[in-house]
Amino acid sequence: MEAFGAAVAVAMSLMLLQMGREERGGNVSRIAIAFLAMGILDAFHATSRPGHGFVLLHSTAVLAGGFWFASIWLPRGVSEVVNRRWFAWAVAGSAVGFGIYTPLFRETLPLMVQGGRFTTFALVMNSLGGVLFLAGVLRIATDSGYFNETGLSAFAFVGVLLGIAGITFGMSAIWDMTWWFWHLLRLSAFVVVLGFVFGRFQRVSLSLMSTVESLKLKEEELRRHRDHLEELVEERSAEIRKTNELLEEEITERTAAEEAIKKLNEDLAHHAAELEAANKELEAFAYSVSHDLRAPLRSIDGFSQVLTEDYSKKLDDQGRDYLSRVRAATQRMGQLIDDMLQLSRVTRAEMKHEEVSLSALAKSVAAELQQTDPDRDVDFVIASGLTATGDKQLLRVVLVNLLGNSWKFTSKHTTARIEFGAAEQDGNRAFFVRDDGAGFDPTYAGKLFTPFQRLHQTTEFPGTGVGLALVQRVVSRHGGRVWAEGAVEKGATFYFTL
């Protein structure tokens, strides 16, 4: 029975030592030392023959256990020593040493049993051990901090059992009731300790199991994550591959587009150069037309006139009529050349962008027209405050031609009204010139703006058919549009935007 208790105590102590290292206060370590010393000495006690040594080993076990149990009272600084591994070895070593020494040198030992009863020395040792146990218990019980500490409450109970066992030792004789009583108490103490150890072990193994379980779960989860990650990576890689392919395609397309643009630009530059050359040529042509075509015309006209003046007597009426027709034709050709030149000039001339008062321009043009034939009864209605951004010279050409046309095509009427204003057309502001003159057949409205195209005979209304072509060129150079409404003998309205 005692051997069993000793084994439990040693096992307990080893476990507690392990616990003690994890615990800062060192209280568990001290209790462990108590059980270690007590266990080892009890083991020797259990294996030795009854006699002085036998009782001494037991008493020493009680005293050593009580001492270390009570050492809870000692200041915390002691724990640092107690916590060292070598200290436990030292205690164990000295216990083993004492256990071996006792049976070998029995004669040197103090007298423990005399006449079937324990000696005073034995009584004192056991009682002191018991009291020390109880003192340790008192410390644990009074200090709530200790009481709640891991396992200490259980040890307090063990301490009580061992303490009472120590004290009752003195009242017993070998094999009597009291002797059995305190042995029973000690056994109970060891059972409690065993229970504690078992519980502890179970808890530890449970917690280990749950740790293992949770580790497994974590691992599982990790694996799942990894698998998922692989899937994701695969998915992303596929996406990236696809994007790369698309990008490559796009790059190829872009390169092709850039190539095409480059080629277009080259073509454009080439065309621009060609245009420039053509423009230069046109300019040279226009210059020589103005110079060279007019010179022979002047000769034809001049010598026709000379004929009329110097040789009229040698010609009959028909001859003179032919000569006047020659002159009229040459003058008309001169006019055509001039108009053509103006048309080319309007197209080529550099444009200014300035604020132009169209109202003021229209008024000055109207005044000029009235001066050419002050007897005509024409009512000019010109809206005031109309302005536009553009080239004043070119915009003047527009008004000269539109108002001039109105002036011309109302000339067969005794009274006329010519209006210049602005109107809203498809959300844009359009200027207009309106008259109540001869008008035109809307069927041919499309031909109005073609150069040298006329809807009236020259004998009816003079002109070369360049005026509206000029208007259209100027308006389109200003980014605008020109169109006409009208009917025969119902007047005409010319709209233009800028």
- Residue 180 contacts another protein per CB under 8 A: no
Q: Which is nearer to another protein, 74 or 337 (CB)?
A: 337
Q: List all residues 6 or more positions away from 430 whose beta carbon is below 8 Å from its beta carbon.
A: 422, 423, 424, 495, 496, 497
Q: What DSSP designation does 397 have?
A: H
Q: Is the Cβ–Cβ distance between 378 and 435 less than 8 Å?
A: no
Query: CB of 250: closest distance to another protein in angstroms?
Result: 53
Give the number of other Cβ atoms within 10 Å of residue 199's Cβ: 12
In total, the chain counts a number of residues equal to 498
- Does residue 122 contact residue 55 with C-beta atoms inside 8 Å? yes
- Phi and psi at residue 356, to the nearest 5°: -120, 130
Closer Cβ to another protein, 168 or 330, answer by number: 330
Token pair belonging to 19 = 């616990």
The CA-atom distances, in angstroms, between 394 and each of 232, 348, 457, 478 are 70, 11, 28, 9
* Complex with another protein: residue 134 or 394, whichever CB lies closer: 394
Among 237, 331, 393, 458, binds another protein (CB under 8 A): 331
Q: How far is the CB of 301 from another protein (least distance, A)?
A: 5
* Per-residue interface string for the shown chain with another protein, residues 231-270, x marking contact by CB under 8 A: ----------------------------------------
Min dist CB 302 to another protein, Å, is 4
Phi then psi dihedrals of residue 465, to 5 deg: 80, 25
Footprint of another protein on 276-315 (CB under 8 A): 287, 290-292, 294-299, 301-306
Which residue, 319 or 421, is less far from another protein as judged by CB?
319
Smallest distance, another protein to C-beta of residue 397, A: 15
Q: How far is CA 227 from the centre of its chain?
A: 28
Nearest-approach distance from CB 392 to another protein, in angstroms: 16
Residue 475: how many other CB atoms lie within 10 Å: 23
Instruction: Compute the least distance from the CB of residue 341 to another protein, in Å.
Output: 8
Beta carbon of residue 395, minimum distance to another protein (angstroms, whole number): 18
329 is an interface residue for another protein by CB under 8 A: no
- Cβ–Cβ under 8 Å, residues 34 and 68: yes
By beta-carbon proximity to another protein, the closer residue of 224 and 352 is: 352
Coil/strand/helix, residue 245 = helix
Neighbours of 403 (CB within 10 A): 23
| Contacts by residues 326-334 (CB-CB < 8 Å, ≥ 24 positions apart) | 326/300, 326/301, 327/301, 330/297, 330/300, 330/301, 330/304, 331/301, 332/458, 332/464, 333/297, 334/294, 334/297, 334/301
Nearer to another protein, 93 or 302 (CB): 302
Alpha-carbon distance values, 496 to 237, 374, 406, 467 (Å)? 62, 29, 15, 14
320 binds another protein (CB under 8 A): no
Binding mask 394-433 for another protein (x = CB under 8 A): ----------------------------------------
126 binds another protein (CB under 8 A): no
Distances (CA, A) of 132 to 95, 234, 424: 19, 73, 118
Residue with Cβ nearer another protein (29 or 344): 344
Residues of span 96-115 touching another protein by CB under 8 A: none
Q: Write down the least CB distance from residue 485 to another protein, Å.
A: 36
Give dist(CA 136, CA 157) in Å, integer.
11
The residue among 110 and 302 lying less far from another protein, judged by its C-beta, is 302
Contact window for another protein (CB under 8 A) among 75-83, 143-151, 330-338, 447-455: 330-338
Choosing from 25, 51, 103, 334, the residue that interacts with another protein (CB under 8 A) is 334
Report in angstroms how near the CB of residue 334 gets to another protein at its nearest.
3
Kindly state the smallest distance separating residue 391's Cβ from another protein, in Å: 14
- Residue range at the interface with another protein (CB under 8 A); choices 201-209, 324-332, 435-443, 450-458: 324-332
Residue 332 beta carbon to another protein: minimum distance, rounded to whole angstroms: 9
The DSSP code sequence of 258-322 is HHHHHHHHHHHHHHHHHHHHHHHHHHHHHHHIIIIIHHHHHHHHHHHHHHHHHSGGGS-HHHHHH
Residue 143 or residue 338: which is nearer to another protein going by CB? 338
Selected range binding another protein among 56-64, 218-226, 228-236, 325-333, rule: CB under 8 A = 325-333
152 burial class (0-12, 13-18, 19+ CB within 10 angstroms)?
A: buried
Q: Which residues bind another protein (CB under 8 A)?
A: 287, 290-292, 294-299, 301-306, 327, 330-331, 333-334, 341
